[in-house]
Structure 1
Amino acid sequence: MAELTRKQTDELKQLLDRRHQELRADVRQELADSGDERFTELTSSVRDIGEESTTAVLADVNLSLINRHTHEMNQIERALQHIERGDYGICVDCGADIPFERLQGYPVAERCVSCQGRYEKTHLSHATPRL
């Protein structure tokens, strides 16, 4: 498998930079919205348990979105560090080159498809409880 060309690496770096900027803007907006007077009014004017749980859900959704964005930003920053070190596009498990097409679709990929499949089977929790 061929290594990434300079042109391909530059294209992926631009894609990562753009996405990072979008996420930063989204996080800023989410934080600004959480300080929005309407949101503050809603949370301070809770009158009953039903309203309280709705308000808590809204706050949790906002926090979950911010957490998801910051997690993706961290992945992007790791990918950019790999580009700087010259080891971007190399599977962290087996050392094989990650195909350009995979990186175009998922530029923060750290594993080739085979290793990612094994990783998911081994490390990710199952949706249903097991004994």
Structure 2
Amino acid sequence: MRAKLDAREAELGAQVRSVNEEAEEAPSRSPPENVGDIGDQGEELIRGAVRHAEMERDQMELRQIADARERMDHGTYGTCVDCGADIPLARLEVLPFSNRCISCQEKYETAHPGGVRIPPAL
């Protein structure tokens, strides 16, 4: 499982670096020579919002990977943080950073609905 976490962390790290590099090179960072019409401006705002949401998602997953490693180090990896039951191996193979069994995860998601957060500029 540690190898799966390492591989996913490397993949996410590369994606985050790529987005950061792209943002530094984005035309919006330099003075616009040709601003375009309102449709172009709106499209750029939407693309920026999507990039922002993807970056947040990737950073959250990186935190979950770090938390999973910490649980491994403390001997609590594979145990549900809510009910203490063993998390099924099949679940850990798909989501190696899982910290809840399926039942507790469903309850958590019902109590804490998530969604894509769009920056206030939109």
Please tell me the TM-score bracket, short chain as reference: 0.7 to 0.9
What is the CA distance between 1:118 and its match in structure 2?
2.1
Q: What amino acid does structure 1 have at the position aligned with 2:108?
A: Y
Structure 2 spans left out of the alignment, 5+ residues: 116-122
Structure 1 spans left out of the alignment, 5+ residues: 1-11, 127-131
Higher mean Cα deviation, 50-59 or 82-91?
50-59
What is the aligned partner in structure 2 of residue 73 from structure 1? Answer: 62
What is the aligned partner in structure 1 of residue 23 from structure 2? Answer: 34
Q: What amino acid does structure 1 have at the position aligned with 2:74?
A: R
Q: What amino acid does structure 1 have at the position aligned with 2:102?
A: V
Q: TM-score, normalised by structure 2?
A: 0.82
Tell me if structure 2 keeps the 8 A contact 1:34–1:62.
no
What is the CA distance between 1:110 and its match in structure 2?
1.0
Measured against aligned partners, the alpha-carbon deviations of 1:31-85 in whole angstroms (never above 9, x if no partner) come to: 111223xx31698232332221111112222222211111110111111111111
Q: Superposition RMSD on alpha carbons, in Å?
A: 2.1
Q: In terms of Rg, which structure is larger? A: 1
Q: What amino acid does structure 1 have at the position aligned with 2:90?
A: E
Q: TM-score, normalised by structure 1?
A: 0.76
Q: How many Å separate the matches in 1 of 2:28 and 2:83?
A: 53
Measured against aligned partners, the alpha-carbon deviations of 1:68-108 in whole angstroms (never above 9, x if no partner) come to: 11111011111111111110110011101111111001111
Q: How many Å separate the matches in 2 of 1:75 and 1:108?
A: 6
Q: Which of 13, 20, 23 pairs up with 2:2?
A: 13
Q: How many Å separate the matches in 2 of 1:70 and 1:117?
A: 22
User: What is the number of residues matched between the two proteins?
Assistant: 113
In the superposition, relative to structure 1, how do residues 118 and 41 fare at CA in structure 2: closer, same or farther (>3 Å)? closer
Q: How many Å separate the matches in 2 of 1:18 and 1:97?
A: 24
